[in-house]
Chains A and B, each alone.
Chain A
C-alpha cells in the first residue's frame, strides 16, 4: 500500500508540473500583454516553444532509447526547408521555375514525414553499429546538411536564406463573426495574402505576424506532442526502448528486434524535429542555414540532459530554462554590468582602452564561458537532470520488489 501511495505521489509530481506549465502557458500571454503592452515576449515564447518541441523529440531518441544523436538540427533543417521550399517563391527561381504555395497544415505533416524518412535512411545502415558510431554518423550528417544548404543557393537560397515564407491560415470563423466573409477555405488563397495591405475582406484568417496566433499554435502542438510521446512511452514500443537502453543484449534475447526498435526511435525523434522545423519556418518567415548549425544540436541535447533524460516534464522544464539562460539572461548581462559599473563608480571600465574592449563588450564575450561552465557544473553536480525520470526508477524498483513477493508466495504455497 505504501508503495502504491509513493508511486501515485511520483505520478502526481509529473501531473502537478504539467498543470503548472499548462496554467503558465494560458496566463503568460495575458499577463505579459497587460504588463508590457507589447507582444514581443510572446513572440519569444513562441520561439522557445520550437525548442520545447525539439527537446521532446530528442528525448525519444536519447532519453527513451538511449541513442546519442549529435546532429538533431539536421532533421530540424529538413523540416524547415521542406516547408520553406513548398510555401514560398523560392522554387520559382530554382531550376524548376515554378513556385509552390502549399498549405501549412498539410506541409507540417509532410515535413514530419520527410524528416522521419531522412532519419530512417540515415539510421538504417548505421544503427547496427555500436552506440558511439551512431553519434559520430549523426554528427557528420548534422555538419553536411547546413553545408549543402550553403552550397546549393539555386535551391535553398544559400547564405541569403529563404524569405517570404507563407503564413498559416485558418477558416475565417476562427477569428469570430466580425472577420467578414465566412469562407471555410483553409488553403491560403490570393485574397488571404493581401491581409497585410489593410484590406480587411479576407476570406480566411491568416496568422500574419501575430505572435499570439503562433503562440497558441505552438502550445497546441506541444500538448499534442506530450500526449503522443507519453502514450508511446507507456506502449509496448516504449518498453522495448527502455529494455534496449538498459541492456541491448538482454533485450535482443527477450525477442525484441533491436534494429527495428532503434530505427523507430530514430525516425520518430526525427519526425518531431521536422514538425518543429515546419512551424519554425512559418513563424519566423525566414529559413537560413545559420539556424541549423552544430550549436543547435548541442543546445537541444543540453536541454534534454539538463531537464532529465527520459522525463517529459523534465525536458520541457530543461528546454525553457536553457532557452531563458541563452536568450534572456545572457543578453541582459552586458547592459546590467555596464550600469552597475557606472553606479558604483567604476565607470572608467566601460570605455574602450587599447586591448580592453569595454566592460559591456567583455561581458558579452563571457557568454561562451558561462555556457560551458553551466554544462560542466550541471553534469558534475546533477548528472541525472533537474526532474529525472523517477517513474522509471520506481518501476524498476517495483519490479524487483514484486519478484521478491512472488518468491515468498511460492514458498508459502509449497
Chain B
C-alpha cells in the first residue's frame, strides 16, 4: 500500500502541531527551551537504556516483560549497596569516587544480568509454549517479587544514593543563560557509549546475528542450528545489563530511589519502545530520547501532573494512528 494512509496523516498532523507549538516557545524563550531540552535529553537517555531491554525481549519472544522496570530499580539498589563499601566523598570528587564509579557499573550490570537470566529461566522459559497470557502474568508476578524484595530490604522510604559525581558550581558551565552540568554530560555520554556497544554487538557478532535471526523466525533459526534457549537467555542478559546501568545512572543523577520507581519508569520506557516501533532497536533509543524530551516539555509547559496523561495519550495515539511506531518496522502478525 503506497502513499500516506489516513491514520498516518493524522499522526503527521498531530506531530506537526506539537512541533509548531514548541517552536513558538523556542523562539520566544530560547534559554528556557534549551534548558528544558537538556533535562529532557538526560532523562531520555535513561529511558532509552530501559526501553532497549523491553524492545529486545519483545522482539525475540513477544513478551511485555513487566519485570524489566524493576530490574532497573534493582540495579540502583544493588549499586547503592556496593557503594556503601567505599568511603566515597559527596563533597568533592576524589580518587576513591572514581574507583568506586569504575567498579560499580560492571559489577551491577553483571549481577542484574545474572538475575534476569534467572528470572527468564524460572518464570518465562517453562511457559514458552503456553498461552500468551501465562508468561505475561508471571512477568507481573516477578515484578511484584522484585518490588517485594526491595521493599523488604529498605522499606517504603526513599533510599539515598551517594552523590559521588562531580557536581556543584565548579562543574557546570553557563552558555547563554543555559546551565550544563557534568552530570547531564555524564548521563548522555554513558548512554551513548552503551547503545553504541549494543549496536556493534547486535550487528557484528555471531550471537547478535543469532538474536536477529531468532527474532525474525524462531523455528527457522532453530533449524539453522541456533541454540534458541541460549540466544533468548543472552537477550535477557543484555537487556538487564542496560537496565542495571540505567538504574545506576538514574541513582547517580537523581540521588533518590524508591522500591516502586521501576513501575512508572518501566511504563514510560515501554511507551518509548512502542513509540519507536516495538522490536526495533534504534527505534527504542530514539523513542526513549523523544519521550524524555516530551515529558520534560510537558512538565514545564503543561504542568508535571499532566505528564503521565500526555505520555499515555501518546502511547494510545501512536497505536491508533501508527501502530508500527516511528521507525515503522513490520511486526510479524502471528
Chain A residues in contact with chain B, CB under 8 A?
62, 68, 125-126, 129-133, 135-137, 139-141, 143-144, 147-148, 150-151, 294, 298, 301-302, 305, 309, 357, 362, 365-376, 378-380, 383
Contacts and interface: CB of A to CB of B under 8 A. Distances in A.
A39 to B, nearest CB: 33
Given A144-B313, A302-B137, A362-B152, A125 B320 contact: yes
A141 B151 CA distance: 28
A379 B138 contact: yes
A230 to B, nearest CB: 22
Contacts, number: 125
Contacts of A140: 271, 312-313, 315-316
A136 B274 contact: yes
Contacts of B147: 368, 372
Contacts of A151: 305-306, 309
B133 A367 contact: no
Contacts of B134: 379, 383
Interface string B122-145: 110011001111111110111111
B323 A366 contact: no
B140 A365 contact: no
Contact of A376 (B142, B309, B316): B142
Nearest to A249: B333
A380 B267 CA distance: 25
B62 interface: yes
A141 B148 contact: no
B198 interface: no
B328 interface: no
A136 B308 CA distance: 15
Nearest to A371: B144
Given A68-B133, A144-B312, A380-B138, A139 B267 contact: yes
Contacts of B316: 126, 137, 140-141, 144
B64 A135 contact: yes
Contacts of A383: 127, 130-131, 134
15 contacts: A68-B132, A126-B319, A136-B270, A140-B313, A140-B316, A147-B309, A150-B305, A302-B140, A305-B133, A305-B137, A369-B144, A372-B144, A376-B138, A376-B141, A379-B127
Nearest to B135: A379
Of listed B62, B142, B309, B313, residue having the most chain A CB within 10 A? B309
Contacts of A305: 133, 137
A309 B133 CA distance: 10
B317 to A, nearest CB: 9
Interface string B293-334: 000000000000110110011011001100100000001010
Contact of B319 (A62, A129, A131, A372): A129
A373 B135 CA distance: 14
Contacts of A144: 308-309, 312-313, 316
Interface string B184-224: 00000000000000000000000000000000000000000
A374 B137 CA distance: 11
B155 interface: yes
Nearest to B136: A68
A366 B152 contact: yes
A126 B155 CA distance: 40
Nearest to B321: A125
B149 interface: yes
Interface of B: 62, 64, 122-123, 126-127, 130-138, 140-149, 151-152, 155, 263, 267, 270-271, 274, 305-306, 308-309, 312-313, 315-316, 319-320, 323, 331, 333
Q: Which 6 A-B pairs have the closest CB atoms?
A: A369-B148, A372-B144, A375-B141, A368-B148, A372-B145, A140-B312
B137 A375 contact: yes
Contacts of B274: 136
Contacts of A141: 312, 316
Of listed A147, A301, A362, residue having the most chain B CB within 10 A? A147
Contacts of B308: 143-144, 147
Given A130-B331, A144-B313, A375-B138, A365 B151 contact: yes
Given A151-B306, A305-B133, A380 B127 contact: yes
Contact of B126 (A301, A374, A380): A380
A307 to B, nearest CB: 13
Contacts of B149: 369
A276 B151 CA distance: 32
Contacts of A302: 137, 140
Contacts of B140: 298, 302, 375
Nearest to B130: A383
A137 B315 contact: yes
Contacts of B315: 136-137, 140
A17 to B, nearest CB: 23
B71 to A, nearest CB: 14
Nearest to B143: A372
A368 B144 contact: yes
B151 A368 contact: yes
Nearest to B320: A125
Contacts of A373: 141, 145
Nearest to B131: A383
Contact of B123 (A133, A137, A380): A380
Of listed B64, B133, B155, B267, residue having the most chain A CB within 10 A? B133
Contact of A133 (B122, B126, B263, B319): B319
A366 B126 CA distance: 26
A357 B154 CA distance: 10
A269 to B, nearest CB: 15
Given A137-B319, A140-B316, A383-B131, A376 B151 contact: no
A71 B132 CA distance: 18
B122 A143 contact: no
